[in-house]
């Protein structure tokens, strides 16, 4: 079978590594990474096989391999790699490279590879949203009329920026993102499903297993089943639960989901801008979600700042961008929550709210282009992985009849 070889593949992937320090060319394929990996559970041979693909330039096979998404970066391979080739960072770089190749616009690749482009896009986008939102001239209500509760004047956020505008822009963004992401998703599905094994065989991908595969993948993502297996690294000195990578990730993810639910339900069932007390269910959910998310983000950031140890010693800019953008959004959101209950409206409150809206919009529009995209790609990859493992219907029936 003929293979199209991209001789520059390794160099391209290296550009997605942290600060160009990735030296995975040093790998001599000893297989230590695969054998030490707590997640390598079948005969797939990752991460070594994926590194090998990159070394010999098998780009098509690399992009068709959902295995890169089964790594949760516990760092055990990097800690024990005899060549200090840093397989963990390679896997992260390969994921980022794959996203940039699934994306049709090429913009995500630019953002991943260049810190300058990343910051520039972020600043331009933010400036655009600020101008767009301020063009409404809503005015700042600083007087004491319009009691929120207890008869004292308060911040009227949605007079400053009308809810319809926020909503309108949001819908527009969803369409843009949806189109962009749909292309990337289709690209990934196509590449994985047309993959052939070395002996020329294709997984069956039986239709009957489609829904169960998706359900399993989504459930695994939500309850971190695979991620939690990273605990089983065979090391006697385990970290306390609240510092473990999967727990921190779960905090960020579930906090984010809670905030997403709160915002959506708020929008659907409550008139925009109508005042509610803090114990209003959806506001409370958002508040708790925000705090939980903030906890995870704080741990993730502080470990990266102080961390000299794998996996926290070398983070790529896209990691930092993801964490900082999310932290900015959550922090401004939480401050806004406080601001609306202040007796007097303040300019600070309005600016914070504006920042929050702008950052949230940045997250939305940049979602398919940045690390946020892993939400979709990783879940999809795991679903495809489950699906590829499912036996063909006739074989399953044969097995059942034998049993």
Partner 1 sequence: MTPTTEQSNAYRPDALVVGGGIAGMQSALDLADQGLKVMLVERGPSIGGHMIALAKVFPTLDCASCITAPKMSASSHHDNIKILVNTEVQGIQTLNGVHHVKLLKKATYVNFDKCIGCRLCEYACDAEYPDPLEEGLGAKRAIGVAFTNAIPQKAVLDPELCATCGTCARVCPTDAIEFDQQAETVIVQTDAVVVASGFALNSLNVKPQYNAARSKNIISALTMERLLAPHGPYGRVLRPSDGKIPSSVAFVQCAGSRDASIGVSYCSRVCCMYAIKQAMLLSGALPIADITIYYMDIRAFGKGYEQFYQNAKAMGVNFVRGKVARIDPVDDGDLSLHVETTEDPENFLQEHRHDLVVLAQGMLPDWDMSGTTPVQRSSDGFVATPMLTSPTLTTAQGIFVAGVAAGPKDIVDTIAEAGAAAMQVSQYLYQKRSANVSESQTAVLVG
Query: Which stretches of the chain bind partner 1, using CB under 8 A?
Result: 28-36, 40-45, 48-49, 79-84, 198, 234-235
Dihedral angle over CA of 67, 71, 76, 80, nearest 10: 30
**Least CB distance from residue 78 to partner 1, whole Å?**
9
d(CA 257, CA 330): 12
d(CA 152, CA 144): 6
Q: Which is nearer to partner 1, 54 or 181 (CB)?
A: 54
* Backbone φ, ψ for residue 395 (5° rounding): -70, -40
Q: Judge contact between 302 and 312, C-beta under 8 A.
A: no
**Least CB distance from residue 351 to partner 1, whole Å?**
49
d(CA 110, CA 122): 13
Q: Which is nearer to partner 1, 83 or 374 (CB)?
A: 83
**Least CB distance from residue 45 to partner 1, whole Å?**
3
Q: Which is nearer to partner 1, 37 or 166 (CB)?
A: 37
Q: Which is nearer to partner 1, 80 or 263 (CB)?
A: 80
Q: Which is nearer to partner 1, 40 or 252 (CB)?
A: 40
**Least CB distance from residue 148 to partner 1, whole Å?**
60
Q: Which is nearer to partner 1, 11 or 42 (CB)?
A: 42
The closest of 205, 211, 169, 301 to 248, measured between CA atoms, is 301
d(CA 214, CA 232): 25
**Least CB distance from residue 32 to partner 1, whole Å?**
4
Other beta carbons within 10 angstroms of residue 153's beta carbon come to: 17
Q: Which is nearer to partner 1, 51 or 287 (CB)?
A: 51
d(CA 129, CA 170): 11
**Least CB distance from residue 400 to partner 1, whole Å?**
24
The closest of 351, 245, 333 to 289, measured between CA atoms, is 333
- Alpha-carbon distance values, 102 to 118, 148, 159, 173, 394 (Å): 18, 48, 41, 20, 33
The closest of 7, 10, 20, 12 to 100, measured between CA atoms, is 12
d(CA 346, CA 350): 7
**Tokens (6 digits) for 316:** 């790529």
Q: Judge contact between 90 and 24, C-beta under 8 A.
A: yes
Q: Which is nearer to partner 1, 8 or 201 (CB)?
A: 201
Q: Which is nearer to partner 1, 51 or 381 (CB)?
A: 51
Q: Which residue has tokens 């779960």?
A: 250
**Least CB distance from residue 23 to partner 1, whole Å?**
11
**Least CB distance from residue 35 to partner 1, whole Å?**
3
**Least CB distance from residue 199 to partner 1, whole Å?**
8
Q: Which is nearer to partner 1, 21 or 235 (CB)?
A: 235
**Least CB distance from residue 75 to partner 1, whole Å?**
12
Q: Judge contact between 292 and 259, C-beta under 8 A.
A: no
CA 106 to chain centre: 19
């Amino acid at each position: 079978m003929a293979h199209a070889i991209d001789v520059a593949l390794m160099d391209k992937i290296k550009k997605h590594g942290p600060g160009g320090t990735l030296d995975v060319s040093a790998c001599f394929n000893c297989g230590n990474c695969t054998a030490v990996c707590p997640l390598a559970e079948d005969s797939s041979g990752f991460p070594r096989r994926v590194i090998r693909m990159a070394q010999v330039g098998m780009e098509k096979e690399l992009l068709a391999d959902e295995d890169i998404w089964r790594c949760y970066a516990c760092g055990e391979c990097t800690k024990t790699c005899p060549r200090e080739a840093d397989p963990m960072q390679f896997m992260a770089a390969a994921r980022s490279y794959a996203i940039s190749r699934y994306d049709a616009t090429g913009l995500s690749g630019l953002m991943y590879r260049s810190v300058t482009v990343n910051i520039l896009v972020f600043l331009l986008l933010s400036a655009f949203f600020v101008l767009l939102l301020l063009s409404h001239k809503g005015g700042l209500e600083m007087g004491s009329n319009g009691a929120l509760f207890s008869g004292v004047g308060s911040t009227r956020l949605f007079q400053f920026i009308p809810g319809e505008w926020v909503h309108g822009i949001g819908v527009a963004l969803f369409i843009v993102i949806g189109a962009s992401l749909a292309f990337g998703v289709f690209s990934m599905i196509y590449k994985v499903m047309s993959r052939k094994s070395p002996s020329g065989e294709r997984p069956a991908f039986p239709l009957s297993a489609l829904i169960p595969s998706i359900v399993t993948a989504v459930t695994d993502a939500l309850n971190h089943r695979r991620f939690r297996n990273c605990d089983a690294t065979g090391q006697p000195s385990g970290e306390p639960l609240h510092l473990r990578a999967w727990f921190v990730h779960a905090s960020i993810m579930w906090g984010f989901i809670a905030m997403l639910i709160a915002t959506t339900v708020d929008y659907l069932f409550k008139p925009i801008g109508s005042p509610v007390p803090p114990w209003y269910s959806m506001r409370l959910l958002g508040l708790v979600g925000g705090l939980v998310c903030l906890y995870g983000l704080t741990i993730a950031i502080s470990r990266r700042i102080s961390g000299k140890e794998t996996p926290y010693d070398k983070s790529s800019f896209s990691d930092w961008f993801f964490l900082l953008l999310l932290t900015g959004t959550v922090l401004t959101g939480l401050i806004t929550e406080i601001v609306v209950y202040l007796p007097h409206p303040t300019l600070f409150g309005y600016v914070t709210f504006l920042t929050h809206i702008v950052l949230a919009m940045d997250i939305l529009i940049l979602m398919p282009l940045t690390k946020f995209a892993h939400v979709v790609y990783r879940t999809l990859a795991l679903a495809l992985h489950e699906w590829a493992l499912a036996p063909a219907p006739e074989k399953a029936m044969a097995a059942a009849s034998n049993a």
